[in-house]
Amino acid sequence: MALVNEHFLKLPNNYFFSDIEKKINLFRVTHPKAEIIRLGTGDVTLPLPHACTEAMHRAVEEMSNPATFRGYGPEEGYHFLINEIIKNDYVPRGVHLEPGEIFISDGSKSDTGSIGDILRHDNSIGVTDPIYPVYIDSNVSCGRAGELQSDGKWSNVVYMPCLPENDFIPQIPSQRIDIVYLCYPNNPTGTVLSKSELKKWVNYALQNDTLIIFDAAYEAYIQNPEIPHSIYEIKGARKVAIECRSFSKTAGFTGVRCGYMVIPKEITAATLTGQRIPLNPMWKRHQEVKFNGTSYITQRGAEAVYTPEGKEEVKANIQYYMENVQILKKAFHELGLKVAGGDDAPYLWVQTPKGMSSWKFFDKLLYEAYIVGTPGVGFGPSGEGYMRFTGFGKREHCKEAIQRLRRCL
């Protein structure tokens, strides 16, 4: 008989964001006329840049012509997009990559969730806490995380709390860890790491033979010119870090799906006998086995992000979302709530009032103000007592939400 992967059974019955939707759907049944404002969604609301849709239309026309039709593309992505990524995302920051070090995908969630496929199940892992749930869940499903404990932590995971006491900056662990996940600008706290702080992590990885999975999905939202956009801006990072990026929040590709992962050729991991194996060709083989490549039409749309028109439209969209964040942040401060993030990221990390739990505050906002946030506890034990808010909504909804918050709080 076929046997299941029993590690999957350790996962909570419902995905965290599905639980939120269930609560909202129940509320709609009992309050059918209520107009809900969603301030917690990680999805964008502005349409795709015109430059991208035009490029995709042209690609569709190509696919309808026998002379320009394309079938299966390269699993690692087309060079026309890879070359634009190198030229625009990395060269201006003094980072030099080869085309074979970039792998186009359908987004950072897939990449961060799948990279563990080429790493042994018994590697130790470390995560900042709070953290994007996929990092934990993907390790639970392969047995790497151990068992869920009564305090909400997994037995084989080293948690690095990000709290007001340390300015939401994770401390370098005292013990050696095989794989460390870092996301900066951070989801959910909206905070960033300075170059000096990021250098500490690269030095730790070099000294301890640690692999860093660095999720830079929100780098385009960085406003401070002193904050690094890529871990490869730090000397030595090419030997220890894999970087993931996405067009989802940068260019509104959440419904189109496109991202990429950078695996420098210097990065290796070991076998039990101590042999060093380069991870770049391993990942290429993984994609050949499990991935048919991101569609040609999608990649043409992503390529257009780097045109002069595309850059201007993307910049305008990001500015719109960041203005939303600042409007909300100012209102939360006026209401007497403690807020982190929002300066270099589209997220606000708001401490709940009067010691209220995350879910209790969620219910209060939903039922009294018809506002939806994201309970912080869903991002890890250190998220309890917080709520994540985003700037991805519409401007008029943000302003209306502020009026409702003032009445509610």
Q: Using CA atoms, how far apart are residues 208 and 178, in angstroms rounded to an integer?
A: 8
pLDDT at 398: 96
Instruction: Identify the CA nearest to 77 among candidates 210, 260, 221.
Output: 260
Sign of CA dihedral 94, 345, 262, 120: positive
Choosing from 268, 287, 308, the residue where a domain stops is 308
- For residues 304 and 318, membership in a common domain is answered with no
- For residues 159 and 21, membership in a common domain is answered with no
pLDDT at 74: 96
Instruction: Supply the DSSP symbol for 209.
Output: T
- The 10 Å CB-count burial string (b at 16+, else e) for 124-162 is bbbbbbbbbbbbbbbbbbbebbbeeeeeebbebbbbbbb
pLDDT at 12: 80
pTM: 0.96
Domain residue limits at 267:
53-308
- For residues 141 and 275, membership in a common domain is answered with yes
pLDDT at 250: 94
Q: For the chain, percent helix, then strand, then coil, each to nearest 5?
A: 45, 15, 40
Choosing from 255, 281, 308, the residue where a domain stops is 308
- For residues 80 and 198, membership in a common domain is answered with yes
Give the CATH number for residue 342: 3.90.1150.10
Give the CATH number for residue 179: 3.40.640.10
pLDDT at 163: 96
- For residues 134 and 162, membership in a common domain is answered with yes
- For residues 197 and 124, membership in a common domain is answered with yes
Taking only the tens of pLDDT, the chain with its 409 residues reads 999 999 999 988 767 888 899 999 999 999 999 999 999 988 999 999 999 999 999 999 999 999 999 999 999 999 999 999 999 999 999 999 999 999 999 999 999 999 999 999 999 999 999 999 999 999 999 999 999 999 999 999 999 999 999 999 999 999 999 999 999 999 999 999 999 999 999 999 999 999 999 999 999 999 999 999 999 999 999 999 999 999 999 999 999 999 999 999 999 999 999 999 999 999 999 999 999 999 999 999 999 999 999 999 999 999 999 999 999 999 999 999 999 999 999 999 999 999 999 999 999 999 999 999 999 999 999 999 999 999 999 999 999 999 999 999 9
pLDDT at 19: 86
Residue 88 resides in a domain: yes
Please tell me the total count of domains within the chain. 2
pLDDT at 15: 72
Query: Is the separation of the CB atoms in 252 and 266 below 8 Å?
Result: no
